[in-house]
Chains A and B, each alone.
Chain A
Amino acid sequence: MTFDRREFLKISAGAGAVAVAGLSGCATSVASARPKVVVVGAGFGGSTFARYLKMWEPKAEITLIEPNDKFTSCPFSNTVLAGINQMEDITFGYDHIKKVVDAWVQDTVTAIDTTKRIVTTAGGKTFAYDRLVLAGGIELLFDKVQGYTAEAQKTIKHAWKAGPDQTGVLRKQLEAMPDGGTFVMSVPMAPYRCPPGPYERACMVATYFKKAKPKSKIIVLDGNPDIASKKGLFLAAWKKHYGYGTDNSMIDYRPNNMPRAVDPVKMMVGTEFDDVKGDVINVVPPMQAASICDLAGVRVGLDGKPGPWCAIDYRTFESLTVKNVHILGDSTLTNFPKSGSVANNTGKMCASAIAELLNGREPDAAPVVTNTCYSASSPDTAFHVATVFRYGEGNKMVAQKGGGVSKEESELEFAYMESWAHNVWADTLGLPADYKFTAKG
């Protein structure tokens, strides 16, 4: 039994169901044609979305636009800094995703007309859409840090978007650093991509130093007043493995130390209190939702005013202000952590909702979704945070009781972390069952 749109609206109104705003203004349904779905960004959110929408509504005509020719995983990129893995272990081709979508376009989106529903790329191509899905991750705001110019970025790496020019170069800088040198790294103000990532980075660089450069130090400049994620677990790991709390600590943690300026010639980072000198400097600037979100006018907060992130309807991931535009992963304004796991799962939530909408049906009124996120604390140990979120009235996602972090680090969780990585990469990129992973946990 199928409903046409008018009948569906009548029925759902009669049943007292919440009206789904996205139904209006979207004329194409699978009953009459092949609806056009344009996805921008082929990371954890966008690739997963494309793969699952194709499974759940094969009639959707999916165009996936991505500037990069390879997928480099941010999760696990800290293990490259440790020397546990190499760049190639966390880098994947898009061959399998290319086979899934109707059109793969390697290009950069330069304009989005949300009235005419047309996306334009730098290559001069245009794509009409019934539904637009923006999965561009984050935009780094270098101009918020004095001196972090294009020239400075050649020397000072953020490595918060993984890739050979970032993670790969930072690893080489650490390799070139003399024993007894100082590595200065920063933690941006929350909310930021990957809350435990900076503290894991300190563990992984310390792992490398302990083995190869034991006289070296790590200064962690944290813009936040305290460790922002898995605090007890990281402090315990720093004490156990890296001498934290003793005179001989490898890690010097400094809260309330937001980097305000960098000098790549003097190799200094300036905070409000101090100028800190380093042999290798790794500053992650403040961030906001990817700039493509601004092109679509969806970088808008819950108050309807422009903001750093994109407010969405949790049932559909549609923008609260612009119809037919959906936003995934790190770009969204949610109470989810900005993790690869969440990006992957929001891709599936959105695919499930859009598959329903394209068929003139109501999406799940109360979705349930999880986050699980592992952090490596040493070359053999890891720990996690796990949470179940359930939709609540008034567009809320409520963390369910019982969630939280590991009691302690363990070798078992290190093995689980490796398994998580293989599975989330396979799930995101559609890697075949016989795919040979090379990354170690």
Chain B
Amino acid sequence: MKKSLAFALIAAGVLGAVAQAQAVDTRARFMAANCAYCHGPDGKSRGAIPSLAGLDKGYFVDQMKAFRDGSRPNTVMSKHAQGYTDAEYAALGAWFAAIK
């Protein structure tokens, strides 16, 4: 996966001290992998829980914000959305948008 400059800046900001030239944002990679136990490997669900793979990044970020402020009611995601930062929403959104 090739990352954009904006994406790299987000990642660098999050990672902090150690500036490294990496082909992959490994922090976003783990955060996205974290979602797989409910949303399926690579964000491709095998059941009633929605897939995340291929979602538009803007849509993903908007949904996370809506879960957080309660404008999209949901039992589980209203909780998880409160635990992530806006920068992390963006990193996750970019990651899932890139999965075909």
Contact = CB atoms under 8 A, between A and B. Distances in A.
B36 A423 contact: yes
A1 B23 CA distance: 10
Contact of B37 (A390, A418, A424): A424
Interface residues on B, range: 35 or more
B41 interface: yes
B34 A427 contact: no
A12 B17 CA distance: 8
B36 A427 contact: yes
Contacts of A437: 46
Contact of A426 (B20, B34, B46): B46
Contacts of B48: 415-416, 418-419
Contacts of A177: none
A388 interface: yes
B37 A365 contact: no
Most chain A CB within a 10 A radius of its CB, from B26, B40, B79: B79
A387 interface: yes
A368 B29 contact: no
Interface string A415-437: 11011101110110010010101
A386 B76 contact: yes
A419 B47 contact: yes
Contacts of A435: 46
A427 B20 contact: no
A370 B22 contact: no
B68 to A, nearest CB: 8
A386 B77 CA distance: 9
Contacts of B30: 348-349, 352, 364, 367
Contacts of B68: 402
A388 B38 contact: no
Contacts of B46: 419, 422-423, 426, 433, 435, 437
A406 B14 CA distance: 31
Interface of A: 1, 11-12, 15-17, 52, 56, 341, 344-345, 348-349, 352, 355-356, 361-362, 364-370, 372, 384, 386-390, 400-404, 406-407, 410, 412-413, 415-416, 418-420, 422-424, 426-427, 430, 433, 435, 437
Interface of B: 14-22, 26-27, 29-31, 33-41, 44-49, 68, 75-76, 78-84, 88
